[in-house]
Structure 1
């Protein structure tokens, strides 16, 4: 069995053992608004997967009441609302909070960052979980955070013309935000603010030459293949999207160890199961876009990727100079990802 399958099975085994030993108790209810609608494959569905799992393995003793986007809470309000106790929990991605927490981008997906497997290793075997919680604590936010799913890797976006060299980026009008947008701007592109619902129209009117939106399967549902026929890979600006469970700190601290363990392990099982299936979900969407809709899928040239990487290093340094915690997290993550040298074997003549 693959390592991910074994890990998922182990997590579920722990869940079943915990639930089997749990005494009957009054049901705990958590009102939980979500950033993405649960009808969206990859980005939204993991929240529903988690709530179903925690209810099943707790024997109905723990229930999370999902609130779809806009049902009393707007996505950008979730963090503050959970911190204040206006909601018991929230299912989101930390990228929504970068305006107030610059390092949040590093826990949600960022240029040339880890893929899903890399994030799991950093969260479970490195300092990822510790630093993730520290980010919210330092900001005075009263939440307990748990990585709880993956939304999938993005492409580099949809293009109406080819970008074969670094010079082709100059003057390119592109819908792209955040750190990725700053990288493109540094290389001479013009970033344009375009609402997600009007991307197709903006491409048709030639207001933009390219657009980054979400993952391939959601891009397809948005119908972007009807407005542009060229995609570039890899999605250097966001190789993965990490989804988080936020629980109000007072609610979390009121739980006993077993209840906390059930929620933590349910999130870990969801994290690992989405790791296992998100790649296939997105790759299948790319195959369909090419075969059914005539979309060309190209790989960036080495020249362009090198230029993007160099520009990212400059943007990251600037961000680290402005925000000490951003630099601390990025240095830790880069250090964790750097392969450690294997020491040479002892000499055969060495004495024991």
Structure 2
């Protein structure tokens, strides 16, 4: 099934209006369902965790209370990295997680979240909804017993917290960095040593010198970890995640059994939430970065020499993965092809406007 074509918003609005007008008939004709959704995130990450509860609220309202989804935080039912597995196995009906958490099973999973030097948030949505991206991803997810819908995005992330400055590519050699998955493979090519460390242990690991640097998400979520106290250099951009997409996964069999009106309610809810979480982070991050700097964080821009080296290493990794993985190559090639025109257009109107406005901000005129 093609995912949410151009008339999705009008169709969704009409469907919601019809449901409200004809509530008695709807209530009589559709079944009462109670599903469970496991999140890969703890409740402390309020923006991302509450995205799943918002999804559940939308679905309940759109179905006049007939379709209820109970949301469980990471670890309440299953470990966070096993969320999608639980949905695929039918232990629960749904999971909310970034696909990249399944990198270790197949690198193709990472393409559902982000690729180094990839698309930004808006471009990703364009690729997903109109460039065939979500259909390609679902061809892959179907192989694993899942149906997926984009359902949230942290937008561009930061480049992480470092105990010392990175002034040249050589500074990456031997650097013990809390990072994993796709970007870990890229940084290995430059001599860095990726480390798999859960969020709750990042602060202590940096404080003790067990690791030299760590990436997490962005200002609002990073602030909660207090990393500026033990690793003051806060680098940007997070070239490995120009956006970071999160998915709602549904057990494939359960999805096919859903009445069409319930399927549409889930689609509409996911699309609404996908935009909402971006707006929420855009609201929180500006104030969080001010607080971090006021508390001692030292903002640093990765030098072009470093970014160029990472770009080249990233392309090497992509070529290696594509050569032996047909699923990876098919989806990666689609993203890269879309990226060419997306950035051609972005530098004309959007960047032209933003660059001028940012110059006014630097001059104190805003």
TM-score range, shorter chain: 0.7 to 0.9
Taking the aligned partners of 1:173 and 1:128, their CA distance within structure 2 comes to 34
Per-residue deviation, residues 168-221 of structure 1 (Å, max 9, x unmatched): 222322222111112111112222343332222222222222111233222211
1:61 maps to 2:96:
no
Give the whole-Å Cα distance in 2 for the aligned partners of 1:272 and 1:8.
14
Partner of 2:356 in structure 1?
none
Other-structure match for 1:307: 309
**Does the 8 Å CA contact 1:14/1:265 hold for their aligned counterparts?**
no
Q: For 1:211-254, what per-residue CA distance to the aligned partner results, in whole angstroms no more than 9, with x for missing partners?
A: 11233222211121221111110111122221111111222112
**1:209/1:131 CA distance change after superposition, 3 Å:** same
Which whole-Å CA distance do the structure 1 matches of 2:148 and 2:74 have between them?
20
Please say if 1:166 is aligned against 2:165.
no
| Aligned match of 1:286 | 289
Using the alignment, how far apart are the partners of 1:11 and 1:229 within structure 2?
49
Q: Offset of 1:18 from its aligned partner?
A: 4.8
Give the aligned partner of residue 318 of structure 2: 316
Q: Is the 8 A contact 1:43 1:152 kept in 2?
A: no
Distance, in Å, in 2 between the alignment partners of 1:11 and 1:206 is 55
Q: What's the counterpart of residue 74 of structure 1?
A: 79
Following the alignment from structure 1 to structure 2, what is the Cα–Cα distance between the partners of residues 206 and 74?
27
Gaps of 5+ in 1: 1-6, 343-352
1:151 positional shift: 3.0
Q: Distance in 1 between matches of 2:89 and 2:201?
A: 34
Q: How does 1:169-318 map to 2 (within 5 A)?
A: 169-291=172-294, 293-318=295-320
Residues 18 and 149 (structure 1 numbering): CA distance in 2 closer, same or farther, change over 3 Å?
A: farther
Aligned pairs for 1:79-118 (under 5 A) are: 79-118=84-123
Task: Report if the CA contact (8 A) 2:49-2:73 is conserved.
Answer: no
Q: CA offset at residue 26 of structure 1?
A: 3.9
Deviation track 1:237-278 (CA, whole Å, cap 9, x = no partner) reads: 122221111111222112222111111111111112223332
Partner of 1:208, secondary structure, is coil
Partner of 1:45: 50
Q: Give the deviation of 1:8 after TM superposition.
A: 11
Asked whether the equivalents of residues 149 and 249 of structure 2 are also in contact (C-alpha less than 8 Å), the reply is yes
Q: Distance in 2 between matches of 1:164 and 1:322?
A: 35
After TM superposition, give the deviation of residue 284 of structure 1 in Å: 2.8
Gaps of 5+ in 2: 1-6, 346-366
Contact 1:29–1:63 (CA under 8 A) maintained in structure 2: yes
Question: Equivalents in 1 of 2:256, 2:195: separation in Å?
Answer: 44
Match of 2:3 in 1: none
SS for the counterpart of 1:134 is helix
Q: Are the equivalent residues in 1 in contact too, given 2:96–2:249 (CA < 8 A)?
A: yes
Residue 70 of structure 1 deviates from its aligned partner by 1.6
Tell me by how many angstroms 1:329 deviates.
0.7
1:39/1:206 CA distance change after superposition, 3 Å: closer
Q: CA deviation at 1:11?
A: 7.9
> Are 1:92 and 1:244, in contact at CA under 8 Å, matched by a contact in 2?
yes
Q: Is the 8 Å Cα contact of residues 37 and 69 (structure 2) preserved in structure 1?
A: yes
Report how far residue 9 of structure 1 moved.
7.6
Contact 2:42 2:74 in 1 (8 A): yes
Instruction: Give the TM-score of the pair, scaled to structure 2.
Output: 0.85
Q: 1:232 aligns to what SS in structure 2?
A: strand
Normalising by the residue count of structure 1, what TM-score does the alignment of the two structures yield?
A: 0.88
